[in-house]
Amino acid sequence: MANIIDGKRLAQQLTDTITKETANYCKRYPRPCLTIVSSGADPASQIYIRTKLRALEAAGMQSRVIQLSEQVCEAEIAAHIARLNRDDDVDGILVQLPLPSPLESTRILDLLDPKKDVDGFTAENLGRLLTGAPRFIPCTPHGIMYALHAYHIPVRGAHAVVVGRSAIVGKPLAALLTAADATVTLCHSNTRNLAAITRQADILIAAVGCPALITGDMMKEGATVIDVGINRVADPAAPHGKRLVGDVDFEAAAARAAWITPVPGGVGPLTVAMVLRNTLYAAQLRHGCTPAKNTASEAAGC
Ligand code: NAD
């Protein structure tokens, strides 16, 4: 039976450290401030935003939300972003994804001042990640690297298979794993014979958004399995008739893997902790007081 990678506990420890660092920082500077730009009323996005706001407040940071309508146009979002880029009281800006169609997230994210881009999604910050000089590491991949490091799961020389190639999870994670000396295979919707590849993985990461895509027979005995997926499936026994599952068939995977992240309580809380970490870092950058040692990134081996 696999050991559980307890993302909730790890995230709490990291949050405690960030909260102390924030209190220290606030002795000399204003409270770090993150502004979230939200468009439309996607229920899952609203839950993620509330979770981030609660975490920011608990860590002693300021948070604001700009709520725009589902019908918002690119020019309107661009005007808000331009104002936030100029606003001296705002340290970090986060554009909540997904954006309502037909808005193009890549174009809009690239309007952010890279020094306030706490998600690390601008072309400049993704480019810096690829060239080995990261500024803001995207929060979900960062949280995953942090967990691998915290649980002493060997990355150097390991074969890491990442399923899903989005610009916010799969691609930056592949870059981080490569930088940490793993041999990386990046799979996607056109990958042929996915199971034959996932079975070779020492570290298997699923970031697709498809419940139970990864079954027990798609992994090798003793693998580390990281489940990024968040899917709401019908369950008459659950409150509100729905429950959260990942992309991995958890029961079957837990019988074969050595380590596994649960959903919920795995990658999700670590993502939120990294939002805090990047917000504090954005404030420190703006005030020219970046710590010589960056707790989370160093611990993640980044
Ligand atoms: P996305 O839709 O942008 O990308 C999905 C990727 O999966 C694509 O690259 C696609 O090629 C690939 N894919 C689709 N079907 C596939 C198949 N059958 N086989 C192999 N690959 C396939 O998704 P995303 O934004 O990267 O998010 C992925 C999942 O992770 C979602 O469930 C999302 O909710 C979740 N997520 C969780 C966190 C967290 O903090 N836990 C953060 C971000 C995203």
* pTM attached to this predicted model: 0.97
pLDDT of residue 198: 99
Separation of CA 178 and ligand 1 centre (Å): 20
pLDDT of residue 302: 66
Separation of CA 263 and ligand 1 centre (Å): 14
Residue nearest to atom 22 of ligand 1 (CA): 189
Does ligand 1 lie within 6 Å of residue 165's CB atom? yes
pLDDT of residue 299: 55
Separation of CA 252 and ligand 1 centre (Å): 21
Does ligand 1 lie within 6 Å of residue 164's CB atom? yes
pLDDT of residue 294: 60
Does ligand 1 lie within 6 Å of residue 242's CB atom? no
pLDDT of residue 291: 74
Cα–Cα distance measured from residue 24 to residue 50, given in angstroms and rounded to the nearest whole number: 25
Does ligand 1 lie within 6 Å of residue 187's CB atom? yes
pLDDT of residue 239: 87
Does ligand 1 lie within 6 Å of residue 210's CB atom? yes
Residue nearest to atom 19 of ligand 1 (CA): 189
Separation of CA 27 and ligand 1 centre (Å): 41
Which residues are tagged catalytic?
Answer: 52, 96, 119
Please list the rounded mean pLDDT of every run of 10 residues in the chain (302 residues): 97 98 97 98 93 98 98 98 98 97 96 98 97 95 98 98 98 97 98 98 98 98 98 93 96 98 98 98 92 62 64
**Residue 226 near residue 248 (C-beta atoms within 8 A):** no
pLDDT of residue 240: 87
Does ligand 1 lie within 6 Å of residue 271's CB atom? yes
Separation of CA 164 and ligand 1 centre (Å): 5
Does ligand 1 lie within 6 Å of residue 189's CB atom? yes
Does ligand 1 lie within 6 Å of residue 194's CB atom? yes
Closest CA to 206 of 155, 268, 162: 162
**Residue 91 near residue 116 (C-beta atoms within 8 A):** yes
Residue 285, CB-side half-sphere exposure with 13 Å CA sphere: 19
- Answer whether the bond into residue 154 is a cis peptide, omega within 30°: no
Q: Which of 101, 208, 247 to mutate to test the pocket of ligand 1 (most atoms within 8 A of CB)?
A: 208
CA angle (201, 206, 210) in 5-degree steps: 135
Residue nearest to atom 26 of ligand 1 (CA): 166
List Cβ neighbours of 122 (8 Å cut-off, separation of 6 or more). 109, 110, 112, 114
**Residue 63 near residue 33 (C-beta atoms within 8 A):** yes
